[in-house]
Chain A
Amino acid sequence: MNNFEPRIVAFLCSWCSYAGADKAGSSRKTYPQNINIIRVMCSGRVDPQFVLEAFKEGADGVLILGCHPGDCHYKEGNYNILRRYHFLKKVLMELGIEEGRFKLDWVSSTEDDKFVTIVSEMVKNVKSLGPLRNEALI
């Protein structure tokens, strides 16, 4: 299983986290290339159906990054995803999808190092969990 390279779908809010990821790139920081970034206007835009669809289409993990609480460009979008995240995480766990495969965190536009740390840790965790196989999904 050592050569397993997980595929992780990452939903990044346009205002903070995507800018943070951009900064990591322009400052030539390195991070695992297992993440497929999808830019959304707000972390609060992430419908639980997007997350389920990602798992259905073969993602081994899903990461959502938004602005820090209190910093949302739309005032409270990140609180919406915070609430939704905890409900959805429970549903996923009841369906046998481990906690480590679904993460929510906050990254501001200056936190390029934090972005690198979160992505690296997530990739490491999902690697140790192994591939998400669910034949019913296919």
Chain B
Amino acid sequence: MIKPKVAFCWEASCGGCEEAVLDLNEDILKVIEAVDIVFWPIALDFKYADIENMNDNEIDVSFISGAIRLNEQEETVRLLRKKSKLIIAFGSCAHLGGIPALANFWDRESILKKVYREAPSVINPEGKEPQVKTKTASGELELPEFYDTVKALNQVIDVDYYLPGCPPSPDLIMQTITAILENNLPPKGSVIGPAKTLCENCSRKDSKPDIMTLKEIKRPHEVIIDPEKCFLAQGLICLGPATRSGCGERCIKANMPCRGCFGPTDNVIDQGSKFLSALASIVDFNDEEEIKKVVDSVADMTGTFYRFTLASSLIKRKRRLK
């Protein structure tokens, strides 16, 4: 039997998704036995040229993690799309833009200025910034172009399936690989994971009061968190009501509220605004001034509600005032 050819690739990501593949532990041996890995920059020495030399659709599945913020990344994923039968957006960044997409509060100019000139640890008296092309004595050097706006994978190429999570849980990864090997995949475009919200399965569900209200929003470092009680009932922002379940509640079990990495459920486009609705509906004030006080107490509201989904939200980025 010919083994299916599989590629793993990372774009704008932290490497946590690659780590998650290794977290399969002994199961990874089964995976390696079953498939032929043709590309995996973090672990194996293949080059882009090896992919270029393959036939179209020769790779059976490509798992791509990370958002797209450089033209090199865009070229790589376009190449993989051409050579692969299936593309799986692996993890929050490829699925929704993820943490790198929080850069969409700024743009290329302000990011490069901050990183290469203003950051306290930078010594750069000549004010040098990376250039796409640099002339040197030995010829012209080229660096990838840095985009203004970070994109999710499906804003650049056609994606077949999405594996959510920061990073996806080993169970879900194994479930996906098994589904591929057994040719038992859901309809194209599906997010692999349950259709319900985290709250539906939450281990703290029974501690949720019948009528949930809150008068004050607190941050995790300001309180001693009750390890059994619903976070929202404790006044802590927990994105559970607006987030897909299937993560195995890793954060909840570590006594930290949900940050929303699994993204919205199937019928929702904009996770942040759905959470906003849920939170606003439990604020226990009708008086405008009291409401404003609660609103003002939420630090970095957009960053909190759209922590993983800014690139794939309806608004996508901060507006440029020019």
> Residues of A at under 8 Å CB distance from B?
47-49, 51-53, 55-56, 69, 76, 79-80, 82-84, 86-88, 90-91, 94-97, 132-137
Contacts and interface: CB of A to CB of B under 8 A. Distances in A.
Given A48-B270, A49-B274, A96-B320, A83 B315 contact: no
Given A48-B270, A48-B277, A84-B276, A79 B286 contact: yes
Nearest to B316: A136
B291 A96 contact: no
Contact of B280 (A51, A56, A87): A87
Nearest to A46: B277
A133 to B, nearest CB: 8
B269 A136 contact: no
A87 B302 CA distance: 10
A96 B319 contact: yes
- For the residues of A in contact with B, the DSSP-based class is helix
Contact of A82 (B286, B302, B316): B286
B281 interface: yes
A56 B281 CA distance: 24
26 contacts: A47-B273, A48-B270, A49-B268, A53-B314, A56-B314, A79-B286, A80-B281, A83-B285, A84-B280, A84-B281, A86-B295, A87-B298, A87-B301, A91-B273, A94-B303, A95-B302, A95-B318, A96-B318, A96-B321, A132-B319, A133-B319, A134-B315, A134-B319, A135-B320, A136-B104, A136-B149
Max chain B CB contacts within 10 Å: which of A53, A90, A136?
A136
Contacts of A135: 320
Contact of A49 (B279, B298, B314): B314
A33 to B, nearest CB: 26
Contacts of B301: 87, 90-91, 94
A90 B314 CA distance: 16
Please classify how large the interface on chain B is, using the bins under 10, 10 to 19, 20 to 34, 35 or more: 35 or more
B96 to A, nearest CB: 15
A80 B269 CA distance: 21
Interface string B198-210: 0000000000000
B188 interface: no
Contacts of B104: 136
A94 B273 contact: no
Nearest to B315: A95
Contact of A52 (B270, B288, B295, B303): B270
A49 B278 CA distance: 13
Nearest to B268: A49
Contact of B291 (A56, A86, A136, A137): A86
A97 B274 contact: no
Contacts of B295: 86-87, 90
Contacts of B292: 86
Max chain A CB contacts within 10 Å: which of B273, B291, B318?
B273
Nearest to B151: A136
Given A87-B298, A96-B318, A133-B319, 18 more contacts: A48-B277, A52-B270, A55-B315, A69-B286, A76-B286, A79-B286, A80-B281, A82-B291, A84-B281, A86-B280, A86-B295, A87-B295, A88-B276, A91-B276, A94-B301, A94-B318, A95-B319, A134-B315
B283 interface: yes
Nearest to A56: B314
B165 interface: no
A136 B148 CA distance: 10
Contacts of B319: 95-97, 132-134
A53 B276 CA distance: 15
A48 B315 contact: no
Interface string B21-47: 000000000000000000000000000
Given A69-B286, A86-B295, A91-B302, A48 B318 contact: no
B317 interface: yes
Contacts of B302: 90-91, 94-95
A33 B131 CA distance: 49
